[in-house]
Amino acid sequence: MSAPRRTYVLDTTAFLAALPLMVYNARLLAPPRVIEEVKDRESRERLQVALLLDRVEVVEPRDRYRWRARRAAVKHGLHGSLSETDIDVAALALQAREEYGDATVITDDYALQELLTHLGIAFQPLRTRGIREARDYILVCPVCGYVSRRYGERVCPRCGVPLVRRRLR
């Protein structure tokens, strides 16, 4: 009996490093937004080869997993640092963990690594050391003190000043 295939959810970093062409006997998943972020010609060509060889499955994460990822981002004050692509990667990892029993995200993005840690999802950086511990933050207006608790909010609704991320102790 063969060992179960590992499941990896790929962030853009994996495609820039040509990872899908180097990993065998693993399930490789990526949300469509990650595929759209691969822009340079060389990486795009490697991506096309990986897709032609069925090495990568492009999977749109379900809305309920996006909601869970966004909720965790707001809870831990990361919602000002994460893109929609980052949310899709985290959501797809949550979905994959439920469907396949385990998932590891390949990413060098520190804010995404912090979110994944809070969600209990493993990650593997490629070109960076990665985070050592997850921290909690708040997104706050430096002028009036407004604290954001809404996903996607980047500017203070009271005074119009850009919100800043502050680490909680």
Q: What is the CATH number of the domain that holds 116?
A: 3.40.50.1010
With a pLDDT cut of 70, the percent of the chain lying above it is: 98
- What confidence score (pLDDT) does residue 6 get? 93
The answer to whether residue 105 is domain-embedded is: yes
Q: Is 90 exceeded by the pLDDT of residue 34?
A: yes
Report which of residues 5 and 95 the model is more confident about. 95
Name the average pLDDT for the chain. Answer: 91
- What confidence score (pLDDT) does residue 106 get? 96
Report which of residues 4 and 68 the model is more confident about. 68
Average of per-residue pLDDT across 68-76: 95
The answer to whether residue 161 is domain-embedded is: yes
Write out the residue range of the structural domain in which residue 37 sits: 6-124
Assess whether 118 and 143 both reside in one domain.
no
Assess whether 148 and 103 both reside in one domain.
no
Assess whether 45 and 71 both reside in one domain.
yes
Domain count along the chain: 2
Assess whether 75 and 153 both reside in one domain.
no
The CATH number assigned to the domain holding 158 equals 2.20.28
CA distance readout (Å), 81 to 26, 43, 150: 30, 25, 13
Q: What are the start-end ranges of the H helices in the chain?
A: 12-16, 32-37, 41-52, 63-75, 84-100, 110-119
Average of per-residue pLDDT across 135-159: 91
- What confidence score (pLDDT) does residue 3 get? 56
Assess whether 107 and 154 both reside in one domain.
no
Residues 6+ positions from 60 with CB-CB distance below 8 Å: 31, 32
Assess whether 113 and 140 both reside in one domain.
no
pTM over 0.75: yes
The answer to whether residue 66 is domain-embedded is: yes
Query: Of the candidates 127, 154, 124, 152, which has an alpha carbon nearest to the alpha carbon of residue 141?
Result: 154
Assess whether 113 and 153 both reside in one domain.
no
- What confidence score (pLDDT) does residue 168 get? 84
Assess whether 63 and 141 both reside in one domain.
no
Assess whether 100 and 48 both reside in one domain.
yes
Assess whether 120 and 140 both reside in one domain.
no
Assess whether 113 and 142 both reside in one domain.
no
Assess whether 81 and 159 both reside in one domain.
no
Euclidean distance between CA atoms 35 and 83, whole angstroms: 14
pLDDT band at 2 (very low <50, low <70, confident <90, very high): low
Helix (H, G, I), strand (E, B) or coil at 59: coil
